[in-house]
Structure 1
């Protein structure tokens, strides 16, 4: 045995003895032992392992920064019973139902002009429209669904309907569909990407995000940065998309006013002979003054000359 072989054998025995003392399994026979360099040892000593709390925090930060792209929409598809909705007085694909269709054609035309016309340059997220009311029961969900259906009938526009009234979700109930995983699951981080809770429908141009499960911090989550990121993505990813957000009423729920800072337009629904002017004035004070604000009078029997029917009409925008 020459001196080189002796030196290698000695080095191997020393390494085995060191590993044995440290509780490390010896290498497989005939496999060369690679000693750590002094730099690698120094790095291992100076970089401590993450604590369990730090690991959790790191995971949360990573999740919060995950893109909310809806480039790949969930495989879930829901079937909207259009005949059932038509019988309930909603916008219909039936050309014989001219009254309600014409009324919402008038409403959406102004909103689309605001979203994509000259005014859009002065609005933040001009294609995001929050549909709200001063108090519950004035018809905001009815209006939001009708508006979504009407825009979905456009040839060159797509529409996303988001049920953000997580305290009292009503979109899926009105459509007689199950309110399963939705916005809340995304805001809680149960779903990494917003596309996982975005459902296709049997209307090619319509997508829906339901409210999802209830949560005791639902109001706070609506005001979270994750919600802000989602709305920003909705507004900017697709230039031809309108986003309709059914939000909680403005009075008594502070988070709705926060959502108002994310939308470029607000449609305030009032009920004829029920909504008080005092409530409407207070509700508008909660909105961003830089928004385009319009009004819909619901359950009215006044003839809408511009739309050709009665029931719902657009009150104008600032």
Structure 2
């Protein structure tokens, strides 16, 4: 708790010193840790309870109904996956999940089109839980608005124009929600809820239940629990912000360990990515914010690309080899 700072978003809506204090605290958290709790964010507890209860209801659906909307049916990487289907660092993640993106008209790819156009498309939705669609699309809109407020505050903290990140975000951002269930029991010492990784986008906002499991690597092989805080979002920065600031803003390695107790763990993760047709710039920061040596670390076997669409599609193809093989076999050289 002492390592992960707590920020009150309501301070940003205040005037004068309180707003400036929030911007300063945000910049420090984004540089020092790359993770923080966000409270006083204005999203009603009743709405968050609805999001949580619908997530719980989804995972209680019969397996047959969940498999009817499996991701293997979707070239856009939308839908349900059983535990073990997604992979991080080549190893199976032990979590059930349901992936949702922005509802957009799908494109039929030609050989002349960039592969990332295949990510645009419609979601799959369970027929017996019709309320899920409207609530999750509303949730997406609400968290997008919060994320944009944070990005603009970050820009001010970096002494950049307030809308500096808007060009990366664009008119068609890569918004993404994961409903996640980490099952308890039948696990080995080698099991991972999610393997150690950095998020690839701009910002991630996580709604946790009361069960711990999320951990942050604050320094080499030193892991800290991000304990649940009721009514808060856990916010972390993605690699696009790290790239754009040459490492001044920190995308931190994190993981999820499987539940140790008798209860499953639920979380809802929202990811704000950049427009798929954008290229990440490097901002010209003031001298005091410029690092002499960037601490950006990238896997030589999985290089980080500034071309947003290619970078995101590469991640999807690696994480979901079954979908990749079915729909994108001729692009296998990308991974």
Above 0.5 in TM-score? Answer: no
Greater fraction of residues in helix: 1
Computing the radius of gyration from Cα coordinates, the structure with the larger value is 1
Give TM-score scaled by structure 1 length.
0.32
